[in-house]
Amino acid sequence: MNFLLEGLNEAQKRVALHKEGPLLVLAGAGSGKTKSISHRIAHLVGQGVPPEKILAITFTNKAAEEMKERILRLLKKLPNSEHFDKHPFISTFHTLGVYILRKSGDKIKIPKNFSILDKDDSLETVKTAIKELNIDPKQFQPAKMQSIISREKGDLMDSETYANAAGSDFYPSIIAKIWSKYEEQLKTQKSLDFDDLVSNVVYLLKYDEATRNYYQNFWEYILIDEYQDTNKSQYELSKILSAKHKNICAIGDMDQSIYAFRGADFRNIINFERDFPSLTSIALEENYRSTQNILEAAAKVIEKNKTRKPKSLYTKNVKGAEISLFEAMNELEEAEFAVHKIKELLKKNCLPPEIAVLFRANFQSRVFEEACLKHGIPYQMLGTQFYLRKEIKDIFAYLRAAANKDDTASVKRIINIPPRGIGKVSFLNKLAGKELPAAAQKKFEQFANLLDSINKAILSQKTSAVIAFVLKATGLEEFLEKGDNEDKERLENLKELVSIATRYDHLAPPEGTDKMLTDVVLMSAQDSLDLPAGRQEKKENSVRLMTAHAAKGLEFKNVFIVGLEEGLFPHSGFGDRNKERDEEERRLFYVAVTRAKEKLFLSFSVMRTIYGNKQINMPSRFLSDIPDRLYKMEEFRFQPEDIIKYE
């Protein structure tokens, strides 16, 4: 099986050949960690490990799918591969949670047909809780409450324990009340949020010995990618599942830990060494992505962080072009400079998807979007996800409500879509069990019959036929056909959804529809760059605009990092007053820099309008970390007629 080692460097070979015992892989940016993991899994199977005994966990559906494809290609090359009727289980933490809870959640009283609330649905439920408690949403902002609850759940805190700890302290005690009401609503709706999918599995495995033993025996080898991004609940789940065989492989890079705001703790890598003192540690230090200049710049920036495991990234790539640095008078000139350089790249036959503009905060996108529009440059904003469009979410709400009548959040969303004359007051009275006027009661009965018919379709028809049925049976298709251009565009998106649903038609009802619902709700921000069928042309012809966070895991030939000013990148409040946060901002900049393969453009503005106020800015401290010899200052001044007008 030497072919499984072809194309691997010495460190990658050591990863691939490791079999027994805990393994820590410290994988630098662009060092080929996915390749190493894939070859290790294939090698394990080649050594006689049944494929189904292997569990691999990634953080995005896209990464999971890419890993699956790589591994299956390698497994097909193995002798007797035609006899493999099962494959390694490769998924995200949340998908793994759904799998376990669907099979075994009844042990802790979780219904098998539970609905999954995405972030938006969860927020609406928090809003409802705040409203029912007569709490001021301005003082206790729903989004902030949602974030606190999510963070606490990720730390394996439950609402009751939180309430006890809060005691009579005003602010925490109010949060506790909101959280408790939120949990009541989830229970009533037979719903779980994203955080529940992992924390409940941890509770299940700790609570029920038989279930714990089953899954510990089921998977003998466990591999976890991006280990630095795990939170406490994910960390605990990893420990529990690997406790028997201890064949756990953690792959990560402390220098790329950028998700502390959502509970990730890069110290889990340090704890990994404590939990498994007999581990083998392997560093992947050869970078295959970037030029020497870009890699050296990144190294000089990140070495300023004190809390890290030192490593020496190197590359055999060419020295490459100097980094370009531009000082703009304001954000308008900065955008014009970027677009000017993008146009030059396109004239040199660079493809649009090979170009990315990265910024620290979402509000920065506007000026670049307008500059692209002005100059006729096609662009794609990461974050405008197809599956988050209102009309798409409406269809999925119909499916969830039909399958789970207790999912009041979904019912509330579509009770009057399209308009069917059911008022808000009537809906609330219905929920409260109050008697309704005959006319209103009839409308509710008709709506209930509609949901019944959709549920019958789910149980008996292929997924694409179910979606088509919902469009017609609800009257939504007819309603949108009669509307304006925006409505017709919505209808086109819904018809596209029917096409997408054919991907699940090979699964028997209701499994196909259930899997589609699960896949979509688990889709992460990184996955939003993957457009559905029929939208590939737009994807292929677009420059990418995105936050530095969203760029994690991606790479581009040409990268623009804009807005490099104190207070913006590093973000305001992330300075010397908080060393830990300052280091995370530095890691985020490191991630942004290492997305570039061939050419890196850095820029900052002397003056910037932020939330309506003009501010004079100092260049980011990160720029002073890059040696002068690695960059050149760019000269560019746009003419008055080029100025983009803003209100």
What is the longest distance spanned by two Cα atoms in the chain? 81
Is the Cβ–Cβ distance between 562 and 603 less than 8 Å?
yes
Residue 532 near residue 500, CB atoms below 8 Å: yes
Query: Is 229 part of the annotated catalytic residue set?
Result: no
Return d(Cα 514, Cα 98) in angstroms, integer. 11
3-state secondary structure of 512: helix
Q: Look at the block and give the residue holding tokens 């090359």.
A: 77
Rounded CA gap, 495 and 499, in Å?
A: 7
Structure tokens at 156: 């394996």
Closest CA to 593 of 551, 542, 544: 551
Q: Is 136 helix (H, G, I), strand (E, B) or coil?
A: coil
Write the CA distances from 517 to 234, 397, 504, integer angstroms: 23, 10, 11
CB atoms within 10 A of CB 6: 8
Pair 583, 306: CB distance under 8 Å:
yes
Q: Is 536 a catalytic residue?
A: no
Return the ∠ at Cα 222 (arms to 217 and 227), rounded to 5°. 140
- List phi, psi (to 5°) of 54: -110, 130
192 within 8 A of 407, measured Cβ to Cβ: no
3-state secondary structure of 328: strand
Contacts of residue 476, Cβ cutoff 8 Å, sequence gap at least 6: 391, 394, 395, 417, 418, 470, 494
Residues 6+ apart with CB under 8 A from 200: 97, 101, 105, 108, 110, 192
Using only C-alpha atoms, the chain has a radius of gyration, in whole angstroms, of 26
Q: How many other β-carbons are positioned within 10 Å of the β-carbon of residue 142?
A: 20
Mark whether 639 is an active-site residue.
no
Q: Is there a catalytic annotation at residue 595?
A: yes
Residue type, 499: S
* Crossing angle for the helix pair 232-242 and 267-275, to the nearest 10 degrees: 20
Catalytic residue among 14, 33, 400, 586: 33
Tokens 């955008």, residue? Answer: 335
34 part of the active site: yes
Catalytic choice (152, 183, 193, 225): 225
Q: Are strands 355-359 and 556-561 parallel, antiparallel or unpaired?
A: parallel
- 94 phi, psi to nearest 5 deg: -70, -40
Residue 161 CB neighbour total at 10 angstroms: 12
389 included as an active-site residue: no
- Give me the numbers of helices (H) and strands (E) for the chain, helices first please: 26, 17
Residue type for 541, please? Answer: N
> Bridge partners of 23?
249, 280
Rounded CA-CA distance 28/236 in Å is 25
Q: Which two tokens stand for residue 328?
A: 């703009």
Catalytic residue, candidates 393, 595, 599, 621: 595
Nearest to 12 by CA among 46, 36, 43: 36
For tokens 């404590």, the residue is 274
Given 92, 185, 211, 256, which residue is catalytic?
A: 256
Catalytic residue, candidates 193, 226, 585, 598: 226
Catalytic residues: 33-34, 225-226, 256, 595
